[in-house]
Structures are given as C-alpha cells and as structure tokens.
C-alpha cells in the first residue's frame, strides 16, 4: 500500500476531490499554505493499493493545471522571494509524494 500526499492548487481542489471520491478513492483533504507564496493550497492524503497508484495520479493530473501567478508584494509574505527577481511564477498543477505504508489500521 502507498500513501499519496498531493499538494494541489485551491482552484483545482474541488475537482480533484470530487473525481477521486467518485472513482472510489478514500481521501482526506487538509487546508495548507505554500511556504514560498504563502497562498492557501490543499493537501490530499490518499491511501491506495499499489495497483491503483497510477490511476490516482492520473485523476489528479487530469484535474489540476499549471498556472502563471503574479508575485504578490514582498511585504505580504516571505522575503526569501526577493532572491528570485521574478514578477511572474509558474505554480502547479500538483506536487505529489508517493510514500510506502508500513501498516494500515482502519478501526
Ligand atoms: P509555494 O511554496 O507557495 O510555491 C509556489 C511556487 O513558487 C512553486 O510552484 C514554485 O514555482 C515557486 N517556488 C517555491 N519555492 C521556491 C523557492 N525556494 N525559490 C524559487 N521559487 C520557488 P510549485 O513548485 O508548483 O509548488 C506549489 C506548492 O506545492 C508550493 O507552494 C508548496 O506548497 C508545494 N510544494 C512544491 N514542492 C514542494 C516540496 N518539494 N516540498 C513540499 N511542498 C512543496
């Protein structure tokens, strides 16, 4: 079994959630914040059998898109952003970690 940890843009989170659950995946959605832009995003925890990992990733991929975002003013967030010197930044899509699950206990 694997645990997918998927960080998804808030604008896509509703579709990702709806499609995952309608495909039969069990999902927990957590409100999260990106450390760089300090915008809200959504983190999904999805426990899946190994043979369904690719299917879950496809559902996320098909329902999330890369977008260009204007950098917010420095004073509204993390000053580490100064170093990039960019006005526009590309934001996922989704960032997905696939973790091995040692034990799954569902009581
Ligand atoms: P944020 O940390 O707010 O990052 C938003 C976007 O800013 C990133 O898009 C990337 O294009 C850029 N960025 C992030 N950190 C940067 C840095 N240190 N220097 C220059 N540019 C930087 P994405 O890569 O698509 O990431 C979207 C969100 O996914 C992130 O929001 C963060 O919440 C999460 N994320 C991405 N990679 C991660 C990782 N390796 N570990 C944990 N969370 C990650």
Three-state DSSP state, 51 = helix
Cβ of 98 closer than 6 Å to ligand 1, yes or no, is: no
For the segment(s) 2-100, the CATH number from 3.40.190.10, 3.30.420.40, 3.60.15.10, 3.30.70.120 is: 3.30.70.120
Average pLDDT, the chain: 91
Q: Which two tokens stand for residue 41?
A: 């995003």
pTM (two decimals): 0.92
- Asked if residues 36 and 81 have their Cβ atoms less than 8 Å apart, the reply is yes
Degrees, nearest 5: CA angle 19-35-3 = 40
Residue 78 has pLDDT above 80, yes or no: no
Cα of 106 from ligand 1 centre, angstroms: 32
Q: What is the pLDDT of residues 16-52, one digit of tens each?
A: 999 999 999 999 999 999 998 889 999 999 999 999 9
User: Domain residues of the chain, as ranges?
Assistant: 2-100
Pocket test for ligand 1, best of 38, 65, 95 (most atoms within 8 A of CB): 95
Residue 86's pLDDT band, with cuts at 50, 70 and 90, is: confident
Cα of 95 from ligand 1 centre, angstroms: 9
Mean pLDDT calculated for residue range 75-79: 60
């Amino acid at each position: 079994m694997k645990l997918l940890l998927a960080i998804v843009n808030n604008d896509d989170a509703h579709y990702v959630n709806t499609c995952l659950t309608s495909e039969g995946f069990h999902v927990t959605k957590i409100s999260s914040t990106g450390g760089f832009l300090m915008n809200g995003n959504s983190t999904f925890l999805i426990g899946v059998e190994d043979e369904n990992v690719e299917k879950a990733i496809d559902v996320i991929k098909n329902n999330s898109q890369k977008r260009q975002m204007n950098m917010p003013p420095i004073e509204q967030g993390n000053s580490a952003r100064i170093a990039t010197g960019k006005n526009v930044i590309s934001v996922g899509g989704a960032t997905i970690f696939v973790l091995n699950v040692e034990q799954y206990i569902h009581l």
